[in-house]
Structures are given as structure tokens and as C-alpha cells.
Amino acid sequence: MAAYHPYHPTLYTAPRTPCFSGSSSLGQTVHNVITARVSRKQSVKAAIDCGTKLSAWTNVRREHWEGDLAVEGHLPAWLNGTYLRNGPGLWDVGEHSFHHIFDGYATLVRISFHRGRATGAHRHIESEAYKAAMVNGRPHHREFSQLCPRRPGSLLDRLRNVIGLSSGTMLSDNANISVFLLGDGRVICLTETTKSSVLVDPETLDTIGKFRYADRLWGPLQSTHPVVTRTEFLTLLPDLFRRGHRVVRMAAGSNERKVLGRVHCRGGMTPGWVHSFAVTEKYIIVPEMPLRYSVTGVLKSELTPWYIFDWVPESGSYMHVICRFTGKTVASVEVPLFMALHFINAYEQREDDGDRTGVVIADCCEYYADPSIIKALALHRLRSPGINKDTFPDARVARFRIPLDGTPVGELETVLDPDVHGRGVELCSINPAYQGKEYRYVYACGAQRPCNYFNSLTKIDLVKKEAKNWYEAGSVPSEPFFVARPGGTDEDDGVVISVVSTTQDEGYALLLDAASFEEIARVRFPYGLPYGFHGCWIPKKI
């Protein structure tokens, strides 16, 4: 960017007394594992008394910062590389304030580790949507909950909007959700729109430019969470008018997507929203839930009660399994109604009697078939002073059992008692070496009640069906990202990294030992950072 654009000044006024918003259990630390710091009890109490805004839901102070980070504790000598996290960092432009957490303009956070030291940086992704908003002082593209440039008034306005949305010209390229290291070393950021595929420099955080697909696969939308390995990039392209998804593959080093297969959605008139999906060594699992894209909303250029979706429980829920090698559908079963943003992992399991067909196991973070999590992420709810009210939707680790023998119905069960992780589970990671294989451990955000958002971290043992939790009053941790120790043989041999937002003036990256889930270090930023979603790890070549 050529110039620095100041944001709303009231967002940067530091409180006279350090303040948090958090649990009414002052200074309480639930750990097995959870550390309570006596020195912080007074600040936590002051926070509850005065209700100061958390940095999690306020704009980042500037569009770019970098520098050394203070380390409290001990960084492992083997931890050499860069952690990148993507997420919204700016929700206010000029006189306009966005409504939903998904609307915010993307901000990358970088933490580089080298021989016990850490440096950090953050920077806005310079998408066309972001640059246009900075120049014009208001949004010019349609975001998740934002109709732009204005609510259509005439029939001609509606026609223009439909053409703009279907062609993708009015859709945002604000890549504020995911960041991935591709097999050839490039780093890509994504959100729901295909045009939001953006390449960034992981060292400088500069926006390099659009990722240009070298194919003619038209489609304005994509899954926000592709499956990325050293050899390939798998994703879904929803087809709003043919009720399905194209499953596409792109080889590492290539920009050309090739259609591997197609899933025909069985319920409703439009495909179900697929924020993420899962794979095994042989199969790709495509979920179909009753939260469906709203074609009516698109045609009318209006937001629905669920923003861009319709909740249609009568249309049913299904799980589709296609072969990774042939693209053929090998199973399509009806399952109990469900609502899930993120799938954790999947693997193949043979039946005890030696049946060759067996079943596919697919685990996800599930909301008891309740889509209210979408509305719970509205900014006015997150910024509410009622943070101590138990207003956040319940979630569980749910497991699908998908038969491959032609049985038309699959099963859905709760894996472990949700109370062990606070009746909340989301934004999960696993040891990547176990992707598509039978596994044991999940690292996720939890919800220690009462709360109005995820406020803890949890390590879930799927074998013992128990959890270890990290929680500190007044803190909002983001996705706990697992980094494996080079040469490690145990599934949980490594560290977990989470960027924690506290007050406007405080924020840090938390490092937990993945095995014990005990804190080993805090890497402090000079001020609090807004909440972010997903990250990736780029190992350093030494």
C-alpha cells in the first residue's frame, strides 16, 4: 500500500486500568494443566468490572508491523520455522462497520522461531476488495453478510447484482480464512470465493498476487479448506444450479485443476454448504448438510436469515464417498441431521468379520443439527458485555460410520462426553502424518462455561475418551496448531501453537507441550491482535 490509512480512533484508546472480559471465576485456572497467575488476578477482576473490549474483536492497530518478540519460558531447540496465521483484522472502514466476524479484511500474522528466539510480524492482505475499501472509505464488494454497493432498489439493480454475483465480479477476493503451504513451496490464502486464491510471501507477508488457475473450470465458489499434501491439492467446486460439487485435483507445482469426479447432492434444490471435507488414503468424503446455498437469495440480491444460506432440515443429510483414484462414487448414505463447519479426520476401518468393504470413519466438530453457530459469530454478539452468559451453542466431537457395502443409511455418534471440553469444540488440528489414517489425538478450541465464544484449548484423547484443557480467564485463544518434532515417533510428540487475544494492549503466542499439554512458553506481541482462524507451518531448512 502506498499510504497508511488510520482506522476508527476510539478503537485504539488504551484503558487506564488493564482490563479483560472473562469468566467470573477470577484468576481461576483449570488445567490439568492450566496455570493461574496470581499477578493477573487483579487485572482480571478489573476487566470484569469495567468490561473493556478484547483485542479479539477490534481492528488491528496498523496495517503492517514487524520486530523481535519477547519470550517467556523456553522454546524448544528443534523448533525452527515459521508459523503463519490468517484471519480478519479490520471490520471498520470509514463510517462503515461490518456485521459478522467472516466479513473482516484479511490479516496475516507471522511468528518465526530460530534457536530459541522469535520474531513476529503482521500485515493486511492487499486484496482488490481491501484496496478498494481503503481508497473509497467503504466496502465495494460483497462480503459474507454485506450487500454491496447497496441494497438493490429497482429491477435493473437486481439484474445487475445477479450478473455480478454469478460472474464473480461483485464477490469479494478477501482471503481471510485459510493459509496453506503448497507442495512446491508457494503459500496460498483462501476463502469461499475462487477469486480469493491469493499468493503471499511468507517472510515479508507481501501480497504477491492472484493465484491464476490454468484451466477453464468455471465456478465462483470453492471449499475454504482444501486438502493439501506435498503432491496434490484437492478441493470442491459447488455447482449451485446442478445441485452438486465437482471434486478437483491439482498436482504440486501446477496451476491446472482437473475434475476427478462429481457428487450429486440428494436433498433440496441446491447443494449443501461444504466449508471443509475429509479424505482417507483411498477415498474423499463429501458431506451434505441441510445448510444449503440460497439461490433465491442470490436471485433477489437479498440476505437470508442465515446470510447466504437456507436451513432446510426436511431435505435431510447425507455423506458421499468417492474414490481418490477413479473419481467414482462408492457410497452415498443418508445420515442423521448434522451441522458442522470443520471435519477433523477420516480413515478406513475393516469390519471384525474380515468383510472387505468395511466402513469409513469421519470425525467432525458438530453442533447437534443447530445452525445457530452462524449467528453466534455476529460481531455485536461477540462484543457484547454479556460474555459471562452461557450463550454459545453446544458442540461435540461426532463420528460418522459410513458403510461401503451398499447399506443406504450411515450412523452418527458422540465420541466422548462433551463436558470434558466445556461443551464446545472447533478449529481443530491433528498431527499431519496421521491425515487419512487411524489416529488418537485432536487439538481444538473448547468452551469453558459460561462464555459467548471459545475461550480455552483442549487436547482430546479419542482412545481414552478424555481431555486435557488450557484455560485462562479473559483470554481468547485461536486455533491450536500442532507442529511435530522432527524425528518424533509418537503421535503427540511436538508442540501446539495458539495466538491468544487478551486486552487491546496485550496478546501473545502460547506454546504448549503437545504430550502433557502444559505451557512451555509465551511469545509476546507489543499489543493485542484480532482473532484469527487457521494457520500453517513452514519448516526452516538448517
Has 225 been labeled as part of a binding site? yes
Q: Using an 8 Å Cβ cutoff, are 85 and 179 in contact?
A: yes
DSSP 9: G
Residues 291 and 306: their CA atoms lie apart, in Å, by: 9
CB burial class (10 A; 0-12, 13-18, 19+) of residue 413?
A: exposed
DSSP 406: S
Q: What is the side-by-side order of every strand in the sheet holding 258-264?
A: 227-228, 232-239, 244-251, 258-264
Report the SS3 class of residue 351. Answer: coil
The phi, psi pair for 398, rounded to 5°, reads -115, 145
Has 342 been labeled as part of a binding site? yes
CA-wise closest residue to 128 among 58, 95, 64, 175: 175
At 8, the amino acid letter reads H
Residues 269 and 72: their CA atoms lie apart, in Å, by: 54
CB-CB neighbours of 56 under 10 Å: 28
The three grid cell numbers given for residue 340, joined into one nine-digit string: 458442522
Residues 501 and 532: their CA atoms lie apart, in Å, by: 9
Cα separation values, 477 from 201, 474, 510, 531, Å:
25, 10, 8, 8
Ramachandran bin of 534, using left for φ above 0, alpha for ψ from -120 to 50, beta for the remaining angles: beta
Q: Where are the beta strands (DSSP E) in 354-439?
A: 359-366, 396-403, 411-414, 425-429
Has 275 been labeled as part of a binding site? yes
DSSP 299: H
CA-wise closest residue to 219 among 185, 184, 262, 180: 262
Beta bridge partners of 497: 481, 511
DSSP 440: -
At 101, the amino acid letter reads I
CB-CB neighbours of 135 under 10 Å: 12
Taking the chain, what is the end-to-end CA distance rounded to the nearest angstrom?
33
Secondary structure (DSSP) of 20-44? ----SSTT----SSPPP-GGGHHHH
Torsion of CA 249, 252, 256, 259, to 10 degrees: -10
Known binding residues: 225, 275, 342, 534
Known binding residues for Fe cation: 225, 275, 342, 534
